[in-house]
A and B are shown apart, each in its own frame.
Chain A
Amino acid sequence: MSEKLYAWLLRLYPARFRAAFGDEALQLYRDRSRDETGFLRKLRLWLDLLADLAVTLTRDYTPAAAPAPFETGPSLLLLPDQSPRTAAMLFGSLISLATLVALPFLVSHSGGYPQIPGPSAPRALAFADAQSTSHSDARNWSADTADRKRIIAAVIANLKEYYVYPGVARKMAAALEAHEKNGDDETVSLGAPFANLLATQMRDVSRDKHLRLEYSLSPAPDYSQGPPPDAVARFRREMKQQNCTFEKVEILPYNIGYLKVNGFPDPAICQSSALSAMAKLNDASAIIFDVRDNHGGSPRMVALLASYLFDRPTHLTDIFTRPNNSTEQSWTPPPVPGNKLADKPAYVLISSSTFSGGEEFPYDLKMLKRARLVGEPTAGAAHLTSAHRIEDHYTFFVPSGRPINPVSKTDWEGAGVQPDVKVDASDALATAQKLALDRLQSGRSSK
């Protein structure tokens, strides 16, 4: 019945709007009324719809362009000649009436909006900003304090169990407790501001760029049984749209191969993209890998791409993970049959945006003296992260592993990966091309 009512309301929208989006608007209504149950939310849904209609109709009658102001004197905005449609007039009265009726009700039920949909929304966490927090009564305030305490305790438990360096974990935990005791956390409301504040408090101690605490309005996925299937499905879809972040595969002048890859997505999803990109470059005389915009991913993809630069499986790095105190070796897989790149000059372009797994690739190759790095020092974020859900809406990304390079016996956390040839990131490609060309020409003349 209420859908019919809304379909009727839709007829008040401008004809052009209805023709283009009528069906979608109706679908939107269906979605919302399916997800937003309960009297308060239904009321809010209808107020939203009425307000939206009012705004849309007003805009429809706003002059498209302000008339040129007079040289002197006031400038006047004129309504178009035709008067509003009867339907619009009628609707105007309806809205005024609805507002009048709703206002007293809303005033007596103040205290912030109830939460938006979310299939299993728990009791409304206040989204109110600091200002309205001060309006809420003492009971709410102490409930917030209890929530904060619980969340902080869960964050600390996760830190102590999973964070890669137990000593740093203890320091971060102490900082969180000190801030809480000091009342620092009460300046922000629960939800995203609180999550950001805690993350900042922890990062101030650890300087760990991988550490994140996120709040989501809809319940966070449960990571305890491995990555949630719908997140994997979404990732798969995104990777397909972006060609697995393989942005450019080209042969540059003088037969120099160029691959720009902006992530290292797991081969389980992206192996075929990697193989086909590298196959196109197989006949190149030299190869440039561009990871200036690469924000990381899976060590397995790092190993797969690196495998093209070696004629046998090669030990790239060890990876230590805290929860089970285990160290795993990462080796390149055996080279694909027919690979011709194993003995070709290789260059890797890096920048200050090169992050995480994006840094492992140049770091490993530098330690093995298999590629020259051109550009700027990288971001300096070496850790591997695991995700943990806290309560229903917080996700804590805890850095819980680190690579340990067999040559350097360490990683690049904080320091970043240093280039062999230091130039602005924007000049890195031209510089590497020139280096490659010089190398190819000197190689030819010496023969």
Chain B
Amino acid sequence: MPKQKLDPLPAAAFQILLSLADEDLHGYGIMRQVADQTGGRMRLGPGTLYSSLQALAEEKLIQEVGAREDADSGTERRRYYRLTSAGRKLARSEADRLAALLRVARAKKILRGGYV
């Protein structure tokens, strides 16, 4: 079942994998990081966020690293999530797939500017 949920990889799940590439984050941290890395275009609501996290965890693409204190606020205890090596691999292959797509798009000259 979760396999179906993640194949093809939904955009939200891919963004979550990317958001965890650098450090472990809690749910709200993931939401902010995803908003950050998409220039504010993707804001994950709780339903999408947590069901994606669950699906990713069931496929062992991420793992929960236990509740701990939030370093910023120092008060509340939260569940943190970490990218597994399988998750990193999947994110990389998805990025490769998108890069290939981008090359096609570029060849068809539908993109402006040289920054992509």
Interfacial residues, chain A to chain B (CB-CB below 8 A)? 13, 17, 20-21, 24-25, 27-29, 31-32, 48-49, 51-53, 55-56, 59, 64-65, 113, 115-117, 127, 130, 184, 187-188, 191-193, 196-197, 200, 216-218, 230, 233-234, 237-238, 241
Q: Which residues of A contact B50 (CB under 8 A)?
A: 17, 20-21, 24-25
A124 to chain B, nearest CB (A): 9
Q: A21-B54, A193-B113 are in contact. List 13 more A-B contacts (CB 8 A).
A: A24-B50, A27-B28, A28-B46, A32-B28, A52-B46, A56-B45, A56-B47, A113-B41, A127-B40, A217-B36, A218-B32, A234-B71, A241-B82
Q: A191-B39, A217-B39, A241-B24 are in contact. Are A200 and B115 (CB under 8 A)?
A: yes
Q: A17-B47, A20-B54 are in contact. Are A28 and B27 (CB under 8 A)?
A: yes
The reply to whether the CB of B23 lies closer than 8 angstroms to some CB of chain A is yes
The answer, among B32, B41, B47, for a CB contact under 8 Å with A13, is B47
User: Closest chain B residue to A198 by CB distance?
Assistant: B115
B16 to chain A, nearest CB (A): 14
Instruction: Give bound CA distance, A197 to B114, whole Å.
Output: 7
Instruction: Give bound CA distance, A97 to B41, whole Å.
Output: 24
The answer, among B39, B45, B51, B78, for a CB contact under 8 Å with A49, is B45
Instruction: Give bound CA distance, A10 to B33, whole Å.
Output: 24
Instruction: Give bound CA distance, A193 to B43, whole Å.
Output: 19
B59 to chain A, nearest CB (A): 16
What is the total of A-B residue contacts with beta carbons within 8 Å?
98
Q: Are B78 and A116 in contact (CB under 8 A)?
A: no
Q: Are A113 and B40 in contact (CB under 8 A)?
A: yes
Q: Which residues of B contact A13 (CB under 8 A)?
A: 47
Q: Are B115 and A56 in contact (CB under 8 A)?
A: no
Q: Which residues of B contact A238 (CB under 8 A)?
A: 22-23
Q: Are A27 and B78 in contact (CB under 8 A)?
A: yes
Q: A233-B71, A237-B23 are in contact. Are A192 and B39 (CB under 8 A)?
A: yes
How many residues of B are counted as interface, with CB atoms below 8 angstroms from the partner's CB atoms? Answer: 33
The answer, among A49, A127, A233, for a CB contact under 8 Å with B41, is A127
Q: Which residues of B contact A115 (CB under 8 A)?
A: 40
Q: A197-B115, A238-B23 are in contact. Are A28 and B51 (CB under 8 A)?
A: no
Q: Which residues of B contact A184 (CB under 8 A)?
A: 113
A78 to chain B, nearest CB (A): 17
User: Closest chain A residue to B71 by CB distance?
Assistant: A233
Q: Are A28 and B31 in contact (CB under 8 A)?
A: yes
Instruction: Give bound CA distance, A177 to B26, whole Å.
Output: 43
User: Closest chain A residue to B82 by CB distance?
Assistant: A241
Q: A116-B35, A197-B113 are in contact. Are A55 and B28 (CB under 8 A)?
A: no
Q: Are A17 and B51 in contact (CB under 8 A)?
A: yes
Q: Which residues of A contact B43 (CB under 8 A)?
A: 48, 116
The answer, among A17, A29, A116, A193, for a CB contact under 8 Å with B115, is A193
Instruction: Give bound CA distance, A230 to B74, whole Å.
Output: 12
Q: Are B49 and A28 in contact (CB under 8 A)?
A: yes
- 7 closest A-B pairs by CB: A52-B45, A56-B47, A25-B46, A21-B50, A31-B28, A217-B36, A187-B113
28 contacts between A and B (CB under 8 A): A17-B50, A20-B50, A20-B54, A21-B46, A21-B50, A21-B54, A25-B46, A27-B76, A29-B46, A31-B28, A32-B31, A49-B46, A52-B46, A55-B48, A59-B51, A113-B40, A115-B40, A116-B36, A116-B43, A127-B40, A187-B112, A193-B113, A196-B115, A217-B36, A218-B36, A230-B71, A238-B23, A241-B82
Q: Are A117 and B51 in contact (CB under 8 A)?
A: no
User: Closest chain A residue to B48 by CB distance?
Assistant: A52
The reply to whether the CB of B11 lies closer than 8 angstroms to some CB of chain A is no
A278 to chain B, nearest CB (A): 26
Q: Which residues of B contact A191 (CB under 8 A)?
A: 39
A91 to chain B, nearest CB (A): 12
Contact with A along B73-90 (1 / 0, CB 8 A): 000101100100000000
Q: Are B27 and A48 in contact (CB under 8 A)?
A: no
Instruction: Give bound CA distance, A163 to B72, whole Å.
Output: 34
Instruction: Give bound CA distance, A191 to B115, whole Å.
Output: 13
Q: Are B35 and A217 in contact (CB under 8 A)?
A: yes
Q: Are A234 and B23 in contact (CB under 8 A)?
A: yes
Instruction: Give bound CA distance, A24 to B81, whole Å.
Output: 13
Q: Which residues of B contact A53 (CB under 8 A)?
A: 45, 47
Instruction: Give bound CA distance, A79 to B31, whole Å.
Output: 32
Contact with A along B52-69 (1 / 0, CB 8 A): 001000000000000000
Instruction: Give bound CA distance, A56 to B47, whole Å.
Output: 6
B94 to chain A, nearest CB (A): 20
Q: Which residues of B contact A56 (CB under 8 A)?
A: 45, 47-48, 51
The answer, among B27, B40, B48, B113, for a CB contact under 8 Å with A188, is B113
Q: A127-B40, A241-B24 are in contact. Are A65 and B4 (CB under 8 A)?
A: yes
The reply to whether the CB of B1 lies closer than 8 angstroms to some CB of chain A is yes
Q: Are A200 and B45 in contact (CB under 8 A)?
A: no
Q: Which residues of A contact B22 (CB under 8 A)?
A: 238
A44 to chain B, nearest CB (A): 8
A17 to chain B, nearest CB (A): 7
